[in-house]
Chains A and B, each alone.
Chain A
């Protein structure tokens, strides 16, 4: 299955990427600067729903939203009557845009996803297809210190073209990476920062000594004083790659994203973030069981990204009784800001962020909270709340046109606009048309119609969807139905004597 998929996908990605390129501003062919999506039901996430309205896009930004919007004469009008406009969904945490999620070096703050971002990954094509317009690409959870992340759009032929926000966060994990236990994991994390402090001291000392050299003086104070005096002399180019990103993280230039796979990993993560003064910009990525530490997270007052597995099931060790917990409810009860993340590993339903939101509603969360968890909340968590996550004037024109309500599983993503550019059209998505065999069905219908036209008076074949009354009626008593007419046994062929 896999080889076929990857081959077909590459072609698809290429086609899609080429299509995107054709429409993308960097490629030259100028897209319409003004687009009006009119007649659709608008779910802006912020503010009231508009039953039938228009969204006006100018130069990649939303300039007007409402039931009555004056459409400029030179705007390209797109009729989306009967469709639903929803903000482009945001994948808050994914390593799937990378060729490999984690480097084999446990402490690798010098890495940047920029170098491994692969625009031809099927993942980006799928994101687009599933209505995701922004992806936070970040190293995987199997690390001690992962590397620097980046926020991208799922269109473009190079990491540069894709970039929305470079260098957003540094990844940490308090859950043991493969081959480590918790002691080793925490020791490695502490060692990282202890080594950083040591390095900074030595660097400062060196800088002070260097500054004295100009005046032909030798170091005249103790190491502590020299370090103190040398500190202001350090400039960014002085740091080596390994330490620069840790320094930037401490300065608040990079957010600190902690992976906590279990509840027991949350406490150490908060403690470390507090100790290293990273808490202010910390985000906690939780495993399913980590909801049990909701109290601690509440005290830390930091947002969280939930595991794609929304249920946590465990058996009582003695009775064997199954206990099922719906994680988002626990997190919402604790008053935490949370974002949902899609998964390709569980099934094809959890792949859709809007399905995950629907599961939240099914299990008791208010509709508003569920919709925010896939749009506005991740935007806020990424620090892009002023640009993304809702359909409001002034925000980036990332809009998904759905065939129905986002929480209805039967709804399909019809069109996707990213920065006001039409980046996806389901009618042109060869892969989904093949999976649903829509193209073939359309061709057959056209053929039938043509045949009927050619033979006037000929009976048009009845609709194929008509219910069949015989449906299994022929089932003989014990169990399975038998065919009405079993094939006659072929006569054994006799060899002719030669």
Chain B
């Protein structure tokens, strides 16, 4: 980070603090919430692995002032009293993919009818428009009741994109290859990392760009996150570039001025096939000349080379040597890469398969760059290596191939195991759990449930969505645990936390009740 940036940031933070105070007060007046709020529950999950029974949490001016065993409630305080219930810290997703555009509102007579946008369909849990459009065409081997297997060529003739695809290439619209008989699974691809990409496409090395600049803080994705108890997220860029943009750390709720925690989070790099198959794809359009949209690389070797060349060039730049060549990174990227090398800026590497994880370890080792492994589906195959080099992992989502469609487009045959999080935690690798693009019922809370089902002790699983990600993001002095002095980001449950039968009734962000489903829970 240059001096100028540091200075700007410092000023920004100072101003930011003042604004928080004003905004916080204004909001409290608006909603007439008592200055002091007390939560009395049966179980308190502190977030660092400790549990307290029959506990009370006192919130004053947006901060937790006391948390621990007890039952006395100070006079004049608002009370959330759930003797059967529990409270956990607000959940933190260290690798959330945010739908950056607002979802368009369209008229829709019946579920699954034409007219709904893809994001809307995903939100409603409906099959995709393409799946519906071609519902009538059938081929052998479908496992899908309403949808069907159909030809990718036929499907995307609609979207007018398959004409550009060569054999074996992935269609950026439907996410499936052009080969006939490819499965057109429902839901197509979820999240930003789907067929569409938000990542700057002018180069494979764009660490100087920032996700925050294309992020809409009013995206409805944040509503969905906060409803499912997630109060802080690291907004990750998608995986379309070898060395992608810098992420951002934001709160999911509260006054807009209070939302941004960091606009220059870690840079996300990608190993594996995503880097050349997500977004526009790097293969030359079939039957056409190579255009501005055509990039290199096209293979894993190429991805590794672009990564290596970028850091090599950063070194040359530092030494004052000329930088050039076919895959040279843009000049703006060089200082940022150098910051990463000096440990001033974090680096994340998305890698799923064991070979890709090992490649990441090897390449980062070459340049002495530390990194955090993201997704790490096959991390259970490299426990020793991860532990040896103290590489933290942001693992997830957990899945068992029940619906591989969201990741099918990558063409990666990763071997997912339900027990990977358990293995990582048991091996002593600092591991956070992420739901990435999954939301609502399927969101981060359910990831915790999967983890517990696969044998992770509840407290460890809770830690993996609270304290551990907070530490990874460097914000554990503010959030991640329920302790006096911490920001009051809390989730209150009707019963045992993360139990299939208990419900998330209250979400508190900065002392403000942002979700309140108590009436609904009581009405039953």
Contacts and interface: CB of A to CB of B under 8 A. Distances in A.
A50 B380 CA distance: 41
Given A100-B140, A322-B223, A362 B418 contact: no
A468 B467 CA distance: 13
Contacts of A486: 365, 368-370
For the residues of B in contact with A, the DSSP-based class is loop
A174 B123 CA distance: 25
B110 A358 contact: no
Contact of B120 (A1, A315, A318): A315
A364 B223 CA distance: 23
B474 A477 contact: yes
B426 A464 contact: yes
A359 interface: yes
Contact of B500 (A407, A412, A435): A407
Contact of A364 (B113, B425, B426, B524): B524
Contacts of A5: 401, 404
Interface string A455-477: 00000000011111011111111
B456 to A, nearest CB: 10
B125 A313 contact: yes
B77 interface: no
Contacts of B262: 478-479
Contacts of B457: 465
Contact of B430 (A141, A311, A314, A481): A481
Interface in B476-524: 476, 499-503, 521, 523-524
A351 B343 CA distance: 44
Given A178-B137, A490-B366, A141 B389 contact: no
A262 interface: yes
Q: How large is the interface on A (under 10, 10 to 19, 20 to 34, 35 or more residues)?
A: 35 or more
A465 B392 contact: no
B474 A479 contact: yes
Interface stretch (A36-44, A186-194, A206-214, A341-349): A341-349
Contacts of B4: none
Interface in B340-377: 343-348, 364-372
A243 interface: no
A285 to B, nearest CB: 11
Contact of A472 (B414, B468, B501, B523): B468
A25 B136 CA distance: 41
B501 A1 contact: no
Nearest to B372: A480
B112 A261 contact: yes
B259 interface: no
Interface in A334-355: 344-349, 351, 355
Interface string B391-416: 11000000111111001100011110
A358 B123 contact: no
A482 B403 contact: no
Nearest to A175: B110
A332 B434 CA distance: 35
A178 B136 contact: yes
A488 interface: yes
B144 interface: yes
A83 interface: no
A473 B499 CA distance: 30
Contacts of A449: none
A110 B25 CA distance: 71
Interface in B229-261: 249
A99 B149 CA distance: 12
A3 B401 CA distance: 11
A355 B442 CA distance: 13
A94 B145 contact: yes
Contacts of B143: 96, 123, 344
A2 interface: yes
B23 interface: no
A420 interface: no
A20 interface: no
Contacts of A263: 110
A320 interface: yes
A466 B427 CA distance: 9
Interface stretch (B152-160, B201-209, B278-286, B444-452): B444-452
A470 B399 CA distance: 28
Q: In this complex, which of B110, B223, B380 has the most chain A Cβ atoms within 10 angstroms of its Cβ?
A: B110
Top 3 A-B residue pairs of the complex, sorted by shortest distance between their CB atoms: A480-B346, A178-B136, A487-B365
Given A100-B138, A347-B446, A434-B417, 9 more contacts: A4-B413, A141-B146, A289-B110, A311-B440, A311-B441, A316-B105, A409-B452, A470-B390, A481-B472
Interface of A: 1-5, 94-96, 99-102, 104, 123, 140-142, 175, 177-179, 261-265, 287-289, 309, 311-318, 320, 322, 344-349, 351, 355, 358-359, 361-364, 407-410, 412, 434-438, 464-468, 470-490
